[in-house]
A and B are shown apart, each in its own frame.
Chain A
C-alpha cells in the first residue's frame, strides 16, 4: 500500500468543468480557505469552488472552536454561566452579559435599579463603539490596507477597554452584570473620564471617515459588491447592521424597548443597496447614534444602588417556566432561551448567536464574485468564532 494514500486531503483540487451535456469544457479549482488563515477571523473554513477567479460554490465549515457551551450551561448554576457568556463574542462581553441577565430577570421577575439600567446602557453603547471601530479596522485590513488603519482603530478601542478594566477588572472578559443589576458601582471620576472619551470620539470618527469614505480603493472594492435585497435579508434571519444595510428598519432597541431605551432620542440608520459600502457606512452611522445615546445617558444618570437588594445570586432557583430574551448586540440580535424546571441549573440553556445565523447566506452573498471579494464579504458580516462555534 502506498503510504501517501493516507495523507490528509489536499488543500486544493482540480476538477473538470462540465457543460450541460456532460462534456468537459475547462477546469474548476476547489480550494479550502482556512481554517488557519488571518482573514477568516479565527478558525473558520470555506470550501470554495472557483471558475477562474469567480466563485461558483461556497460552503462554510465551522465547529473548530466548538465546546458545547449550551451543555456546559445546563450542568452549572445560573450564576456560573455569566462568566461563560463573556467567551461567546469576546469582543462584546458587556452586551452578552446583559442579554443573559435580561433573560433571567424576565424569567424570575426581578427589578433592576435605575442607576444600574443607565450603567448598562453606557456599557452596551461603549461596547458598540469599540466593536464597530475595530470591525472597520479589520474590514479595511482585509481589503489590503495592512496595519495602519487597524492600529488607529485599536488605539481607540484600547481607551474603551481601559474604562472596562477599571470598573470590572478585566479588559475583555468583564463578567460585570448580574441578574438584578450590575456587580460594582462606577465612581464620578470614571463617569467624567467616559464623558471626556465620548466627547473626543466624534473627532476620531471624523478623521477616520475622511481617510476612508471617499477612498478610491475602498469605493472600488465595496460599491455594488454583494448586494442584498430586503426579502433575502429578512428570509435568511439576518440581524444587526447587515439587515439594516439592506434597508429593513428593525432594531431590537426600538422594537422591544428593553431596559430604558425608550427614554433616549436616537435614530436607526438604514442603507439602500445592502452592498459592502452600505454595511461599512451602517457601522459608522451607528457609532454616531451611540455617541448621542451615551451623551444623554451620561447626562441623566441618577444616584442610588446598583443591585436589587432582593436579588439572590447564590442558590438561585427560579420557578419553572420558559423564557426567550433578546437584545441588540453590535452584531445583531443576541437571544437566550431558558427553560427552568425549578432546579439550581437551567433545564435548557440556548444561545441565539447572531454571527452564526448571519453566515447562513454567505454562499449567496459570494456567488459570482471574485475570490478576493470573499475575504471582504466575510469581513463585512462581522463574525466572531467564539460565538459561531460555541
Chain B
C-alpha cells in the first residue's frame, strides 16, 4: 500500500483546494494519519473510495475524540543583558492551544485487502462551530457511528440523513463523552409522563397545601 506521503501528493494533485497534513504517531506500531480540512473532507473521502490504487471501500471505525483547551508550556532560551553581561536565560513561554473536536475514520479496502488509512477531521472549536461534513453518503456504514458521535460528543454532521440521538434518550441535554462533562446531581432524572400528571394535578389546588399547624395548647 502507498505511504501517507504518496497519498498526500496524489490527493493534492486531484483536489488542489484540500489542505492535507500528515500527523505523526508516537507509537511505532500505530499508523500515521491524514488530517484534512473540514471543507474538503467530503471530496477527499470520495477520492479515497473511488481511486483505483486505494479503493478504500470499507469504513471500519468512526469515532470522536475531544481535545479541550490546553496550556502548552515551552522552555525557550532568551538572550538577556544581566548586569551588563549578555547571558542566556531560560524563559517559560505559555501558549493556549484552543480546543477542538476530532472525528477519526479508519478506512480499509475489502477488494485489495489493505489498510488502514486513518482520516481525521477537526471542528473549529468546541462550542458553536462544531459542524463537519457527514461521510455517510460515501460509506453507509458510518451512519450509526456518526449518530453516536453526535450523541456523545456533539459534532453536527452536515448532510447526514437521520441525525438524532442514538444511545441517550432524545430529551437528554449535554454530551457525556466530552472531557469536561459533569454529571448532574440527580443523573437518573428523566422527564416522565408522571411529571405532567403532577403538574395537571396542581390546578386542583390553587392554594399551596401547607402542613397543618397545630395550635399551641396553653396549660
- A228-265: contact bitstring with B at CB < 8 Å (1 yes, 0 no)? 00000011111000000000101000010000000000
Is A25 among interface residues, defined by CB-CB distance under 8 A? no
Question: What's the A-B contact tally at a CB cutoff of 8 Å?
Answer: 111
- Whether A235 and B139, one on each chain, are in contact in the complex, defined by CB atoms closer than 8 angstroms, is yes
The prevalent SS among residues of A at the interface is: mixed
> What are the residues of chain A within 8 A of B166 when measuring CB–CB?
62-63
Q: Counting chain B CB atoms within 10 Å of each CB, which of A63, A109, A248 scores highest? A: A63
- Whether A319 and B26, one on each chain, are in contact in the complex, defined by CB atoms closer than 8 angstroms, is yes
Q: Which of B190-219 contact A (CB under 8 A)?
A: 193-194, 196-197, 200, 203
Task: Give the distance to chain A from B198, nearest Cβ to Cβ, in Å.
Answer: 9
Q: Which of A293-316 contact B (CB under 8 A)?
A: none
> What are the residues of chain B within 8 A of A6 when measuring CB–CB?
193-194, 196-197, 200
- Whether B65 and A1, one on each chain, are in contact in the complex, defined by CB atoms closer than 8 angstroms, is no
- Whether B168 and A66, one on each chain, are in contact in the complex, defined by CB atoms closer than 8 angstroms, is yes
Q: Which of A355-390 contact B (CB under 8 A)?
A: 356-357, 359-361, 389-390
- Whether A337 and B63, one on each chain, are in contact in the complex, defined by CB atoms closer than 8 angstroms, is yes
- Whether B168 and A63, one on each chain, are in contact in the complex, defined by CB atoms closer than 8 angstroms, is yes
- B49-90: contact bitstring with A at CB < 8 Å (1 yes, 0 no)? 000000001111101010000000000000000000000000
- Whether B29 and A237, one on each chain, are in contact in the complex, defined by CB atoms closer than 8 angstroms, is no
Is B95 among interface residues, defined by CB-CB distance under 8 A? no
- Whether B61 and A109, one on each chain, are in contact in the complex, defined by CB atoms closer than 8 angstroms, is no
- Cα of A3 to Cα of B203 in the assembled complex, Å: 12
> What are the residues of chain A within 8 A of B168 when measuring CB–CB?
63, 66
| Residue in contact with A106 in the complex, picked from B30, B139, B169, B197, CB distance below 8 Å | B30
- Whether B63 and A320, one on each chain, are in contact in the complex, defined by CB atoms closer than 8 angstroms, is no
Is A141 among interface residues, defined by CB-CB distance under 8 A? no
Q: Which of A96-150 contact B (CB under 8 A)?
A: 106-107, 109
Known A70-B177, A71-B177; judge A320-B200 contact (CB<8 A): no
Is A335 among interface residues, defined by CB-CB distance under 8 A? yes
Task: Give the distance to chain A from B179, nearest Cβ to Cβ, in Å.
Answer: 8
- Cα of A89 to Cα of B176 in the assembled complex, Å: 23
18 A-B pairs with CB atoms under 8 Å apart are: A62-B166, A63-B167, A66-B167, A68-B177, A106-B29, A107-B27, A237-B142, A238-B141, A250-B58, A319-B26, A320-B27, A321-B28, A324-B106, A324-B116, A337-B106, A348-B65, A350-B61, A352-B61
With contacts A62-B167, A106-B29, A322-B27 known, what are 16 further pairs, Cβ within 8 A?
Answer: A63-B169, A106-B27, A107-B27, A107-B30, A234-B58, A237-B58, A237-B141, A248-B110, A324-B106, A337-B106, A352-B60, A352-B61, A357-B141, A360-B141, A360-B143, A360-B144
B interface, CB within 8 angstroms of A? 25-31, 57-61, 63, 65, 104, 106, 110, 113, 116, 118, 139-145, 152, 165-169, 176-177, 193-194, 196-197, 200, 203
